[in-house]
């Protein structure tokens, strides 16, 4: 299927063939008929992409601070690699979609229903149920495609709380502004519209609105005073897009005592206190389509808010807009300035450079396309070479940030045969598969269960790991899974049974991405302490940094929590350095509330040889302190490693220090060791028993502090 993508690094916009997304629980698969280009938002994205690196930094000063902190801990090269990787990610453009339901797992929607959604510019989109609404029979798809954008304006008006007879100013007469003036008029308000474009002012007048044409140097404050009979306006809805701080100043100046200002657009916000203080003006920023926006429980999981407590949600705002379209209250036909077929989308985005452009409609083929819902896109024309059974031919599940920045390049560097890259939505998959030389990309995991692939790497969200490992092993694939191996002891037991069953008749390797074992500094530490037979004492201080409470990694059912999700790294690493089985563990947590203890914990491990170690896993440290510090004490000597860059030795006659210019946590060496084992017909680099041991102990530790 075809989809419009933008490269954030270059700003290039393309119509790209991508695999069709697969239906999942709580989602709807929609075949697009029309979509609307949002002139304001999408022009801003295009301009950001085309900006040079300095201008990008100026537009996001908060991100610059994060980059500088990362340089202090990880070094310049690692930080530059991370920034380049972030900018290299393709993004899907568009969020105003109308089409027909192809597949559904939701009771409220049936195949064949005409619906609107916040889906992107693509022939097929996958959308959660709370972000869809049914189109009334008398509303055309072309009109319905304005629904989501109109909901943005409607939410701003709901926050403004206009009443019949009030005088309201709409500052900015773009698409959202021209929709808002109609809704305000329908609410019985008298409206004054302000804009630089005389054509947009004329359109607004056709909707019964008085206007101020800034191009003619008309004074908006003076005219607003006349408009309000000298009393000041009751409210201002700012729908403009500008860097200027003047708009907010003028909005406050034209207001009456205790008026309201609602920001829907994007303007300069260096506010002057006196503007708001003297009149006690209320100022609020509107959050997109309405309540539910940016709430994963609402948008992704599909939990609705009770109508008695939250009358207007995103979805109910969509429905309200469609009702206005159906009864003729809202007319968007006059706002359509251009129409293009999806194949001509690049031309459509060129039209954004015209300041007078408004609604740009994209149309999609009506005829049924047999390739539309294909899950697999073939990329390489290279002849397939017959391979020996042990030659690694790799399929990778997952193309997110870590997969694309670290693991995929690591597998490519290991010189294995990259066969198929599977991603959930198809967009990141097509980009990274093309970039790294995969033969195909897919959105269906079952495309890996064939004779072309003998090795699978799993880099998905943690809750998928166990089932995908079991499926890969059951299909006879050598399996590499990024940590954790499983989230529960029950899952771990199922993996163990599957592994042992499969290996009765064949040799299938299982590897977990415990890459720190393979870091150059860790290998040096292991070499230095192996000569010392006495028990060791190890202290690992992990300055993990805080992650927002609503991040999926904290969800026990999805991420498993930070100890299972990341702490397992250090349990395995300590097990490797000591060289003996873990005998017992003990934990101490900070605070009393369960939701703040799990990532602020001290874990003590004891080992069969008498060694012991402590893992301080802390999310409450300073971000400019080393993220990982490892100290090993043994036989009158000490080793101290900071951030896998600087290792110092104390008490060693033949070792003082080892420094690397670039941080190396062993990711490439870990993958290379796994691939080499397959190539040479050897066992997996980390003994299977140690993988199970570290995973089991990590799960038990997490369970003990919940």
Distance CA 75, CA 482 (A): 24
pLDDT (average), residues 249-255? 96
Would you say 578 and 536 are in contact if contact means Cβ atoms under 8 Å apart?
Answer: yes
- Locate CATH 3.90.180.10 in the chain: 2-145+332-363
The topology under which CATH files domain 517-666+687-704 is Dihydrodipicolinate Reductase; domain 2 (3.30.360)
Parallel, antiparallel, or unpaired: how do β-strands 282-285 and 13-17 relate? Answer: unpaired
36-45, 109-118, 534-543: the lowest-pLDDT one: 36-45
pLDDT (average), residues 40-65? 59
Place of tokens 């290039």: 12
Would you say 589 and 611 are in contact if contact means Cβ atoms under 8 Å apart?
Answer: no
Cα 43 → chain centroid: 21
Could you tell me the pLDDT band of residue 55, with boundaries at 50, 70 and 90? low
163: how many CB neighbours lie within 10 A of its CB?
A: 11
pLDDT in tens, 271-310: 999 999 999 999 999 988 999 998 988 998 899 999 999 9
Parallel, antiparallel, or unpaired: how do β-strands 646-650 and 336-341 relate? Answer: unpaired
Mean pLDDT in the chain? 90
pLDDT of residue 388: 47
pLDDT in tens, 76-102: 655 656 665 666 678 889 999 999 999
- The single-letter DSSP state of residue 569 is H
What is the sign of the dihedral through the CA atoms of 202, 208, 213 and 218?
positive
Distance CA 487, CA 465 (A): 8
Parallel, antiparallel, or unpaired: how do β-strands 233-238 and 582-589 relate? Answer: unpaired
465-469, 545-549, 578-582, 678-682: the lowest-pLDDT one: 545-549
Q: Where do the DSSP E strands lie in 264-408?
A: 282-285, 336-341, 359-363, 376-378, 393-397
Residue 40 has pLDDT above 90, yes or no: no
What is the signed CA dihedral for 48, 51, 54, 55, rounded to 10 degrees? -60
Of residues 673, 664, 666, the one with CA closest to residue 81: 664
pLDDT in tens, 338-357: 999 999 998 888 888 887 78
* CATH number of the structural domain 385-512: 3.40.50.720
Instruction: Domain 2-145+332-363: give its CATH architecture.
Output: Alpha-Beta Complex (3.90)
Q: Which residues are bridge partners to 263 per DSSP?
A: 238, 285
Q: What percent of the chain has pLDDT over 90?
A: 74
Cα 329 → chain centroid: 37
Collect all residues with Cβ–Cβ distance below 8 Å to 504 and sequence separation of at least 6. none
Could you tell me the pLDDT band of residue 58, with boundaries at 50, 70 and 90? low
pLDDT (average), residues 449-474? 96
Could you tell me the pLDDT band of residue 549, with boundaries at 50, 70 and 90? confident
147-151, 298-302, 523-527: the lowest-pLDDT one: 298-302
Q: What percent of the chain has pLDDT over 70?
A: 90
pLDDT of residue 610: 96
pLDDT of residue 63: 55
Could you tell me the pLDDT band of residue 56, with boundaries at 50, 70 and 90? very low
Superfamily of domain 149-285: NAD(P)-binding Rossmann-like Domain (3.40.50.720)
Residue 462 has pLDDT above 50, yes or no: yes
pLDDT in tens, 623-650: 888 999 999 999 999 999 999 999 999 9
- Considering only the C-alpha atoms of the chain, give the largest distance between any 2 of them, rounded to a whole number of Å: 92
148-152, 315-319, 459-463, 588-592: the lowest-pLDDT one: 588-592
Could you tell me the pLDDT band of residue 67, with boundaries at 50, 70 and 90? low
pLDDT of residue 49: 58
- The single-letter DSSP state of residue 691 is H
Q: Which residues are bridge partners to 52 per DSSP?
A: none
- Locate CATH 3.40.50.720 in the chain: 149-285, 385-512
- Locate CATH 3.30.360.10 in the chain: 517-666+687-704
Distance CA 166, CA 63 (A): 42
pLDDT of residue 36: 96
Distance CA 285, CA 475 (A): 53
pLDDT of residue 697: 98
């Amino acid at each position: 299927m075809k989809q419009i993508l933008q490269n954030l690094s270059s700003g290039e916009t393309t119509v790209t063939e991508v695999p069709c997304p697969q239906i999942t629980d709580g989602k709807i698969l929609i075949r697009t008929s029309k979509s609307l280009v949002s002139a304001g938002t999408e022009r801003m994205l295009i301009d950001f992409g085309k900006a040079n690196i300095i201008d990008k930094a100026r537009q996001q000063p908060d991100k610059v601070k994060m980059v500088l902190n990362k340089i202090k801990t990880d070094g310049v090269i690692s930080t530059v690699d991370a920034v380049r990787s972030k900018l290299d990610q393709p993004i899907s453009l568009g969020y105003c979609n109308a089409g027909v339901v192809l597949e559904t797992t939701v009771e409220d929607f049936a195949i064949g229903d005409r619906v609107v959604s916040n889906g992107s510019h693509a022939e097929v989109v996958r959308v959660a149920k709370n972000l869809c609404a049914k189109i009334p029979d008398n509303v055309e798809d072309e009109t319905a495609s304005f629904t989501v954008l109109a909901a943005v304006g409607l939410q701003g008006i709901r926050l403004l709380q206009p009443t019949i007879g009030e005088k309201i100013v709409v500052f900015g007469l773009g698409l959202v502004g021209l929709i808002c003036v109609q809704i305000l008029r329908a609410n019985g308000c008298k409206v004054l519209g302000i804009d630089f474009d005389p054509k947009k002012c004329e359109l607004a007048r056709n909707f019964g609105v008085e206007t101020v044409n800034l191009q003619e140097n008309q004074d908006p404050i003076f005219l607003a005073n006349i408009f309000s009979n000298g009393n000041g306006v009751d409210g201002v809805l700012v729908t403009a897009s500008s860097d200027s701080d003047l708009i907010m100043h003028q909005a406050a100046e034209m207001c009456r005592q205790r008026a309201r200002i609602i920001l829907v657009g994007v303007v300069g916000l260096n506010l002057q206190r006196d503007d708001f203080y003297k009149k006690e003006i209320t100022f609020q920023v509107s959050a997109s389509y309405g309540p539910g926006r940016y709430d994963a429980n609402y948008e992704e999981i599909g939990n609705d808010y009770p109508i008695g407590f939250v009358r207007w949600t995103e979805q109910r705002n969509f429905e309200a807009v469609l009702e206005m379209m159906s009864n003729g209250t809202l007319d968007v036909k006059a706002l359509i300035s251009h129409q293009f077929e999806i194949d001509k989308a690049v031309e459509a985005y060129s039209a954004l450079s015209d300041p007078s452009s408004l609604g740009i409609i994209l149309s999609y083929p009506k005829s049924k396309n047999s390739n539309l819902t294909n899950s697999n896109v073939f990329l390489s024309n290279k002849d397939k070479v017959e391979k020996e059974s042990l030659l690694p031919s790799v399929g990778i599940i997952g193309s997110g940030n870590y997969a694309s920045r670290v693991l995929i390049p690591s597998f490519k560097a290991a010189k294995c045969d990259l066969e198929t890259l599977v991603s959930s939505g198809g967009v990141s998959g097509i980009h990274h598969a093309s970039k790294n030389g995969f033969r195909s990309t897919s959105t269906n995991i079952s495309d890996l269960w064939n004779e072309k692939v003998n090795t699978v790497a799993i880099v998905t969200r943690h809750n998928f790991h166990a089932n995908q490992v079991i499926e890969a092993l059951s299909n006879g694939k050598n399996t590499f899974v990024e940590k954790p191996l499983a989230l529960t002891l029950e899952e771990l037991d199922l993996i163990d049974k599957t592994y042992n069953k499969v290996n009765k008749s064949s040799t299938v390797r299982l590897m977990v991405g415990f890459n720190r074992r393979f870091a150059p500094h860790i290998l040096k530490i292991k070499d230095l302490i192996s000569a010392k037979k006495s028990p060791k004492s190890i202290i690992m201080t992990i300055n993990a940094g805080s992650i927002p409470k609503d991040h999926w990694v904290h969800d026990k059912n999805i991420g498993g929590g930070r100890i299972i999700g990341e702490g397992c790294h250090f349990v395995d690493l300590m097990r490797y350095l000591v060289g003996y089985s873990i005998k017992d563990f003990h934990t101490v947590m900070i605070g009393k509330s369960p939701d703040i203890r799990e990532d602020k914990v001290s874990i003590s491990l004891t080992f069969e040889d008498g060694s012991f170690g402590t893992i301080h896993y802390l999310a409450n440290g300073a971000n400019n302190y080393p993220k990982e510090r490892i100290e090993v004490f043994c036989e009158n000597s000490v080793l101290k490693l900071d951030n896998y860059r600087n290792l110092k030795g104390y008490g060693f006659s033949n070792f003082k220090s080892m420094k690397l210019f670039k941080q190396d946590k062993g990711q490439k060496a870990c993958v290379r060791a796994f691939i080499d084992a397959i190539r040479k017909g050897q066992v997996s680099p980390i003994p299977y028993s140690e993988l199970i041991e570290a995973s089991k102990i990590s799960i038990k530790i997490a369970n003990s502090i919940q």
